C-alpha cells in the first residue's frame, strides 16, 4: 500500500473497464501528487486521460466501472472497485474543471446564483456565500463581478465562463483540482491567462492539481511531473524536464518528436511486441 502520508493524492493500481467484463480502458495506473504541485497526464486522444480523471473524481458513467485499485485524497478513499460515485455525505475533496465551461454551467440560472449554490453545497452559510461569490469572481480576474453575477452563461465569453468555473472550484477549497483540457477552444491569449490563473490558484491554496492534456507545451508550462498514457497503459512518469528532454519509452520519444514537428501525422503508433512497459 502506498504511504498516503507523503502525498495529497495517491492513486494505486487503478483499472477501469467497460462493465464487468468488457474492454479495459485504463490498466494498473499508479501515481502520487504532492500538495502544492501539478501533475500532467499526457497522451493522444483515446489514451485514457479523461476516463482516468472521471474515475478519480467518482464521476464515471454507468457503462464504466473501477475494476481494481483505489484513489485516496488526504488519506481518504474517494474511488475504489465497487464504488461508482462519491457518497452524498462525503466532504468535497475534489474539484473538476471540464474542457467545456458552458456545459458545466446551468444556462437557465444567473452566474451569481450558481456560484452561491456551489458555496452553500460546500457548507457555507447564506450570508457568507453572498459576499464570497463576489470575492471569488474578483479573484479570478473578472473586473465587474456584480454585472457578471447577474448575467447568464450565454451572455459572457467562453474564457469568462472558464473563470467562473474555476471560481466555483476554488470556492470549495478542494484538496485536489482536476483540470481536464481546461483551455480547449480558447484563443492563445485567453489560454495563457487561464493557465496563469490555475498556477496562481495552486500556489495560493496549496492544493494538488491533476492536469489532463494532449498538449505537451501546456504541460511543460504548468506541470512539475508528467505521466504518459498509451492505450490506457502508463508507460513513463517523471519530472517534466526528464519527459521533455530525456524520455526513455519509444512512445514518449515519438510524442515529444511530434510536438517538435519531427514525426508525421498518424505516425505515433509503436511496434514493441505488444509489451508497452
Q: Within a domain: residue 139?
A: yes
Q: What's residue 197's pLDDT?
A: 84
In a domain, 3, yes or no: no
Confidence (pLDDT) at 83: 63
Q: What is the pLDDT of residue 260?
A: 67
Backbone angles phi and psi of 227, in degrees to 5: -125, 130
Asked whether residue 54 is domain-assigned, the answer is no
Low-confidence ranges of the chain (pLDDT < 50): 1-5, 88-89, 264-267, 270, 272-277
Q: Whole domain around residue 163: which residue ranges?
A: 94-173
Flag whether 14 is in a domain: no
pLDDT of the residue at 45: 86
Residue found by looking up cell 458513467 in the block: 61
Q: What is the pLDDT of residue 38?
A: 93
Domain count, the chain: 1
Confirm whether 126 is domain-assigned. Answer: yes
Contact (Cβ atoms closer than 8 angstroms) between residue 79 and residue 55 = yes
- 40 located within any domain: no
- Residue 202 has a pLDDT of 81
Q: Has residue 51 been placed in a domain? A: no
In a domain, 134, yes or no: yes
Amino acid at each position: 500500500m502506498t504511504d498516503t502520508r507523503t502525498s495529497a493524492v495517491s492513486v494505486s493500481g487503478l483499472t477501469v473497464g467497460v462493465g464487468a467484463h468488457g474492454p479495459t480502458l485504463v490498466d494498473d495506473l499508479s501515481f502520487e501528487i504532492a500538495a502544492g504541485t501539478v501533475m500532467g497526464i499526457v497522451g493522444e486522444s483515446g489514451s485514457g486521460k479523461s476516463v482516468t480523471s472521471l474515475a478519480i473524481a467518482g464521476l464515471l458513467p454507468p457503462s464504466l466501472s473501477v475494476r481494481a485499485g483505489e484513489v485516496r485524497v488526504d488519506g481518504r478513499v474517494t474511488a475504489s472497485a465497487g464504488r461508482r460515485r462519491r457518497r452524498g455525505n462525503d466532504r468535497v475533496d475534489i474539484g473538476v474543471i471540464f474542457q467545456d465551461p458552458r456545459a458545466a454551467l446551468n444556462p437557465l440560472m444567473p452566474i451569481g446564483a450558481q456560484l452561491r449554490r456551489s458555496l452553500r453545497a460546500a457548507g457555507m452559510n447564506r450570508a457568507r456565500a453572498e459576499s464570497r461569490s463576489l470575492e471569488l469572481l474578483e479573484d479570478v480576474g473578472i473586473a465587474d463581478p456584480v454585472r457578471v453575477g447577474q448575467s447568464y452563461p450565454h451572455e459572457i465569453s467562453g474564457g469568462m465562463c472558464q473563470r467562473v468555473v474555476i471560481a466555483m472550484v476554488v470556492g470549495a477549497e478542494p484538496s485536489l483540482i482536476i483540470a481536464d483540457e481546461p483551455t480547449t477552444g480558447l484563443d492563445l491569449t485567453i489560454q495563457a491567462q487561464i493557465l496563469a490563473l490555475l498556477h496562481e490558484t495552486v500556489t495560493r491554496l496549496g492544493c494538488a492539481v491533476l492536469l489532463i492534456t494532449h498538449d505537451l507545451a501546456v504541460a511543460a508550462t504548468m506541470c512539475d511531473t508528467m505521466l504518459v498514457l498509451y492505450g490506457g497503459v502508463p508507460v513513463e512518469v517523471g519530472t517534466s524536464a526528464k519527459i521533455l528532454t530525456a524520455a526513455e519509452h519509444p512512445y514518449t520519444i515519438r510524442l515529444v518528436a511530434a510536438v517538435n514537428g519531427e514525426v508525421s501525422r498518424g505516425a505515433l503508433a509503436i511496434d514493441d511486441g505488444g509489451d508497452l512497459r
